[in-house]
Amino acid sequence: MELVFATHNKNKLEEIKFLLPHYIKLLSLDDIGCDEEIPETADTIEGNAILKAEHVKHRYGYNCFADDTGLEVEALNGEPGVLSARYAGNDKNDLANVRKLLSLLENKNNRKAQFKTAIALNLNDNQNLFTGICKGEITKESHGDKGFGYDPVFRPNNFKITFAEMSLTEKSEISHRGKAFRELITYLSK
């Protein structure tokens, strides 16, 4: 079976290839000739995952899955949420996004947050949605140099270190993305 992962990110692709059953041939957007940026215009994380999966299915005709991830901060009424990658502007600058977040939380005691990943799977004319959530808090300053995005300021519950201080293996065990992809892989392995 061929399945497209709606991403241009080679690292994500290799990570998922390693976890999938051997009978699934995983393709990227590059593999199917899709060099466009798929619009993410929904107002929810789940909606954006569905939009991307639908785009590939209808435009290119492949069975496909797509993911979207966001950071939701309680004291900011769920922001940055669906705008996580572009929180400080359309150039998707991780450092600027973190600075903006820390600035908005500067005088707030409630620093509870959660990462959420949604994966939409379009397979044989059926659609399924898989969600992973990791609860934690936003630190007052950046710690660590691993990972990307908000990892240096997100400390998961029951841990003393941020995602950016964890090995990829350790992070994958507890992360939102890891949880959602394990649900997807379990489903595909049936």
Q: Is 68 a catalytic residue?
A: yes
Indicate which residue of 68, 91, 94, 151 is catalytic.
68
Long-range contacts of 166-174 (CB under 8 A, 24+ apart): 171/146, 171/147, 174/134
| Nearest C-alpha neighbor of 72 from the set 83, 80, 60 | 80
Q: Is 75 helix (H, G, I), strand (E, B) or coil?
A: helix
Calpha distance 130→38 (Å, rounded):
20
**Quick one: tokens of 142?**
């950046």
Phi, psi of 85 (to 5 degrees): -70, -25
Give the torsion sign (CA, 128, 134, 137, 143).
Answer: negative
- Residues forming the active site: 68
